[in-house]
Each structure stands twice: as C-alpha cells, then as structure tokens.
Structure 1
C-alpha cells in the first residue's frame, strides 16, 4: 500500500555536484539535441491544436539526486486534467509483484492524445528534459527521476538509485526496461550509481537507439494484442445480447 507523503520544500541539484567529464558530456549532448527540440516543439504544438486543447509542455514534480525535488519538463501527451490514480495503483502492484514493467501505453490508455503513444514509445516526449540537463537537475545518463509518491515508498536500499543524477537514458533503459521487473530496475540503477564512468555513459548513449527501437516494437505488439482482445470482448457481448432475441423470434 502506498503511504501518504508530506510536501517538502522544492530544491534543485547544482550542476557543480556532477563530475567535470559528465557535465561536459551533458552540455555537448544538449547543444546537439536542441535543433531537434525546436522541430518537435512545432510538431507538438500542431498536434495539440488539432487533437487536445491545452499547453504544449507538461511540468511535474520529480525526485532527483539524493532526494532533491525539481520540476521536470515533457511534451504533454495526455488530455488536460487526466487522472493519475491508475498509475499509482499500477506502481504499487509493480513493487509487490515480479511482473514486467510494461508501459500503460501498450494497453490502450484512454488518457492519451491521439498519436501521442508514438512520442512516448520513442522517448521523444522526454526531449524537453534537455532543459533540466542544462540546468543541472538531470544528466543525459542516469536513473529515470521518480515521482514523489514512488520515492516515499522506497526502502532505504532502493533509495540508493538516487545516488546519481537522474537521466534521459540509463543502464536500466538499455537492459530491457519494460521487459524487466521493478526489482531489476532498482538493481541496475544502483549498479550504475556506483560504477558510472565516461566509457559506461558513452556505451549507454550508443545503445539507446537500439533500446528505443525494441521498445517501439513492444508497444506496437502490446497495442495490437489489446485491440484484438477488446474486439473479441465486444463481439462476445454483442452475441450474448442478441442471442435471446433470436431465440424468442424462432419460437414465434
């Protein structure tokens, strides 16, 4: 069961707490990714205008380096005012079971804006976080920043994953991500926090496109299975509703 949390004072992780080589790599990657961010912002603005009125960007409180809070930036991919209780329940289930951490997107989440599943499965909805990297709250490589209610339900051992700055990609993401369990995510993130190096970061960055390609395939297959199951359920309901009427007509 998830526990209630108290709102802490918002803090930020200074870039000075990052190793020099890591900060230099972050700034280089930010400069390279900025043109893509501009193009995607224009695309996202058009998508919002056509499908879902509301802001282009989504800001949410996350937990970063050593428990510090900060606001994360993302492209908005859900309808404004969407309920998040489903995610809290799903997270509680993942913590207590040994099931793979599948994205809710692959189950046909009705909260998503049409077409937004593609942004999410490719990770492009996270690209605005290069602003968080530039500010020093995040790094290019590191554990994904968790939501406060997730962090407050971590054990002290699990909180060790926050011993490094959160990142856009990381060891967990290139090691199976949605095919792995919650326990595996914690283990991989803790391993990275204690073994990070320039060579490891470069290896993770190079493996990220492959990991994203696999993730897109998993989401597409998951959405297809969900659509087939949904259609099958509707068919059974339809047959069940009309059968008594057919029997009644055959008796007259």
Structure 2
C-alpha cells in the first residue's frame, strides 16, 4: 500500500511520495529472527565484550546516530572496533595523507583506517562487530534486511531526491548492497541505486535470499574492512 506523507527532518519539511507501510511479515520476521540470533550468539557476544574491555579498558559498545524510517534518528549499536581517541587519529591521518582524504570524502570509509584496533580489524573482517544491531532490530529501529544505515551527511550528499526511497523503509543489518558488492563497490551512486532497487523489489523471498548470501559473504570475508 502506497501513500504520500509529509514529515519533518531537522527543521525541513520533506515530501515522501513513495511511503510504504512496513509489511506485517517483515516486523514479525525481524522480531523472531533477532530473538533467536541473540540467544544463539549470546556466549560469543559476552566473550567479545570481555576481550574489548580487557584490551584497552574503553567502552564495549560504539553508538552512532543514523537516519531511519521516515527520518527518525536512532543510535546504531556496534561492538567498539576503534581506539578511544579515534577521531583525533582520523584528523591527523587525513591531514597528512591527501589520497586518504579523497577516499574518505568519496566513500566515508578507509581501507587502511588508523582508528581501528587490531582486534577491531578482526571483528570487522568477520562482521562480528555488528551483532549488537539485533538489539536495534528488537527495538524497531532497524530490520534484518534493508538499506545500509547512513548518517545525515551521506543521505543529503549522495541520495539527493532519491532519499525518499531510503526513508520509506527501515535500514537493515544486511542488505542487497552488502551481499552483491559490499565494500568492493567504491562508487557511492551504485550503492544508492542498489538501495533503490531493493526498496522497489522487497519481498519475503528476496529477504531470505539476501540472508543466505550474507552467511556466505561473512564466512568468506568478501569486501569487509
């Protein structure tokens, strides 16, 4: 079912002409899948939390504001993979390395990120840093499958008029871009087009296909950094 909706995002009124109600099956599936996943991975998450705390004594979880369904802001949860002074390290690195600065401005990511700890690199390569996001799904801020959750700067800079598609669904722990290209796709507009394709074609069977592909991508570590 489609309908138009006007919503406010940081003082700006936006017209969302492709707003879709979240399908009943999607929320039910998200809830059941997340509960099972949390119960199954709980011992592993406890071990990861202890390792992070022992290694440098810093916070276990990393929280970052992302944009969700209909422009709602939420705190994305991950296991912390960066040094406590990560932003200082990033600023110094980008100031010294023009190529890294260009890469950051283009993709909002770095292949050789100076902020990431040794253990953090392992967590990222295996995608274990994303396990706490099942809590985001239980809370209702995310889905198991959906577009990659983005910050406001990315949404405004790269999505443009296409942001209405992103805002019409909940962002996902995994998604079409993650399994079909992941970080191997360095053209951000290709990522945007893949998000749009998913929104237009989402279905229960497509979600299952993406989840199965995600398992393979995680096991092989393809495109992760």
The verdict on a shared fold, with TM-score over 0.5 as the criterion, is: yes
Mapped to 2, the partners of 1:22 and 1:217 lie a distance apart of 27
**Partner secondary structure for residue 140 of structure 1:** strand
Question: Equivalent residue of 1:61, what SS?
Answer: strand
Q: Which residue of 2 aligns with 1:49?
A: 53
Bigger fraction of residues in helix: 1
Q: Which has the higher strand share?
A: 2
Is the 2:78–2:133 Cα contact (8 Å) retained in structure 1? yes
Determine if contact 1:62/1:71 at 8 Å carries over to the other structure.
yes
Aligned counterpart, 2:72: 68
Q: CA deviation at 1:147?
A: 1.3
Question: 1:80 and 2:84 equivalent?
Answer: yes
Equivalence map 1:155-234=2 (5 Å): 155-180=160-185, 181-214=187-220, 216-218=221-223
* Deviation string, structure 1 residues 151-209 (Cα, Å, up to 9, x no partner): 23231125523321100000111112112221211111101111111010011111111
**TM-score, normalised by the number of residues in structure 1:** 0.70
Q: Give structure 1 stretches of 5+ with no counterpart.
A: 1-6, 10-16, 96-102, 223-252
Cα drift, residue 36 of structure 1? 4.0
Deviation at 1:65, TM superposition (A): 1.4
Unmatched segments (≥5 aa) in structure 2 = 1-8, 12-20, 95-99
Query: 1:100: which partner in 2?
Result: none
Matches within 5 A, 1:17-36: 17-36=21-40
Q: Bigger radius of gyration, 1 or 2? A: 1
Distance 2:40 2:118 in 1: 22
Aligned length: 198
- 2-structure distance, mates of 1:54, 1:185: 33
CA contact (8 A) 1:51 1:113 kept: no
Moved more, 120-129 or 155-164: 155-164
Which of these residues, 124, 129, 138, is aligned with residue 125 of structure 1? 129
TM-score of the pair, normalised by structure 2 = 0.78
Deviation at 1:38, TM superposition (A): 2.1
